DNA sequence: GTCTATAGTCGGATAGAC
DNA sequence: GTCTATCCGACTATAGAC
């Protein structure tokens, strides 16, 4: 009862507003003035909660990055097998679907995201490479690695679902997971 | 022998420099000052050749967009069949591979590209929707449409090939085309 | 915690001399 | 065709009053 607005609400409101604006019009095109306006405070107050625009972006993508890293890191511990391959790919699908709302921000302003990741970027790229390689199976050819990349792209299609097509999440998950597995299994072209 | 530099060279040099910088650091983050600096002229001179930053972007993505539109428009004329499906998907793969260098710019700053397309955007989206729907086959379910989206994403993996992996383009094409077709054929999950 | 005010920077774009 | 010089606007960020 010390303030008329609960202290933590403002920070959360900023987070929400920023996510909305970043998704809608991109990171670069969104100014702190706009965010502050939407929340109903001024730019200066915003700086009390987040010390820079980048830190705000980091706060938004942070949990997503953590989840992705955690799933990918599974490839360092699990032995490759068709079953574990399916399991990890499924986990990856889950993470993408879970963070669907963050998707547009990530997709539209990769450059800004990369800049925000800064020192964590190296780790993430390395982890991602290992994941992709693991996914390609034992003794992979170049084509196998290409297929692994394509399979990952497949799951990214979950980000392209517009809100008005309200497909249940479980169907998105199953359909795309099967699609990704089909990609991995698509060796030796039948005709060409 | 009228000038020390051939007249048309400057315009081409600007185009090259812009493509390089846009790909490397994104459209928004690249300033006209940087581009001019790299070419060895001033900002003002740049405006002699391109009347705005957007027009420069349009020049870069223009031929790609035209090629994509042209391939997708094929779905308006061809009757659906497994063969025509394969043919159109192959054509799409060809276009993406051909314009691989433009890829990063397109991927990284979708927002700017959309803004640059402006009045052509409506057409392109409509064409793209029809293409995706056509690809999903006759009387498609929601899952079929999802698979069509995923198949298209698959081919996008061609954009993620780093220059140092020098896989021959024909192998990229065949591998990804087979992968995309596998996605479309991945109906009725075996277990779930 | 929130405000006003402002510093300081950089962006895109134009005018006009050469 | 290229330059110098300059405009205007918007942005991030900080200082300091309340």
In angstroms, the CA A146 to CA A164 distance is 33
Partners of A142 on chain B (C-beta within 8 Å) are 165, 167, 171
Determine the pLDDT at residue A163. Answer: 57
- DSSP per-residue letters across chain A: --SSS-HHHHHHHHHHHHHHHHHHH-TTT--HHHHHHHHTS-HHHHHHH-SSHHHHHHHHHHHHHHHHHHHHHHHHHSPP-HHHHHHHHHHHHHHHHHTGGGHHHHHHTHHHHHHHHGGGHHHHHHHHHHHHHHHT-SS--HHHHHHHHHHHHHHHGGGG--TTS---HHHHHHHHHHHHHHHHT--S-S--
Nucleotide nearest to A6 (CA to C1'): C1
Determine the pLDDT at residue B191. Answer: 47
What backbone torsions phi and psi does residue A108 show, to the nearest 5 degrees? -75, -35
A70 CB neighbours strand C below 7 A: no
Partners of B189 on chain A (C-beta within 8 Å) are 174-175, 177-178
Interval A21-78: pLDDT, tens: 998 888 988 999 889 988 999 999 999 899 899 999 999 999 899 999 999 999 999 9
In angstroms, the CA A43 to CA A34 distance is 9
Size of interface A-B (CB pairs under 8 A): 116
Mean pLDDT of A83-106: 92
Nucleotide nearest to B6 (CA to C1'): D1
In angstroms, the CA B111 to CA A107 distance is 10
Determine the pLDDT at residue A166. Answer: 72
Determine the pLDDT at residue A101. Answer: 84
DSSP type of residue B137? -
B31 CA → D8 C1’, Å: 17
Q: Are A151 and A135 in contact (CB under 8 A)?
A: yes
Question: SS3 of B189, please?
Answer: coil
Task: Tell me which residues of chain B have a pLDDT lower than 50.
Answer: 1-5, 190-192
B81 CB neighbours strand C below 7 A: no
Determine the pLDDT at residue A110. Answer: 84
Answer yes or no: do B149 and A157 touch at CB < 8 A. Answer: yes
Q: Are B41 and B58 in contact (CB under 8 A)?
A: no
- Block residue for tokens 């392209």: A160
In angstroms, the CA B58 to CA B119 distance is 12
Chain-centroid distance of CA B144 in Å reads 24
Determine the pLDDT at residue B2. Answer: 38
Using CA coordinates, name the residue in chain B closest to A25: B111
Retrieve residue A46's tokens. 């915003």
A31 CB neighbours strand D below 7 A: yes
């Amino acid at each position: 009862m010390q303030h008329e607005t609960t202290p933590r609400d403002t920070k959360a409101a900023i987070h929400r507003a920023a996510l909305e604006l970043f998704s809608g019009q991109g990171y670069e095109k969104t100014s702190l003035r706009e965010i502050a306006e939407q929340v109903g405070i001024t730019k200066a107050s915003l700086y009390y909660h987040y010390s820079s625009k980048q830190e705000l972006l980091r706060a938004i993508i942070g949990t997503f990055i953590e989840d992705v890293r955690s799933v990918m890191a599974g490839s360092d511990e699990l032995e490759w097998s068709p079953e574990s391959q399916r399991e990890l790919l499924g986990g990856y699908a889950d993470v993408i679907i879970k963070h669907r709302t963050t998707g547009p921000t990530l997709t539209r302003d990769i450059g800004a995201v990369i800049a925000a990741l800064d020192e964590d970027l190296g780790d993430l790229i390395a982890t991602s490479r290992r994941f992709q390689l693991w996914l390609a199976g034992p003794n992979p050819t170049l084509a196998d690695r290409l297929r692994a990349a394509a399979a990952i792209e497949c799951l990214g299609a979950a980000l392209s679902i517009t809100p008005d097509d309200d497909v249940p999440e479980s169907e998105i998950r199953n359909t795309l997971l099967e699609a990704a597995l089909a990609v991995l299994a698509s060796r030796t072209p039948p005709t060409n």
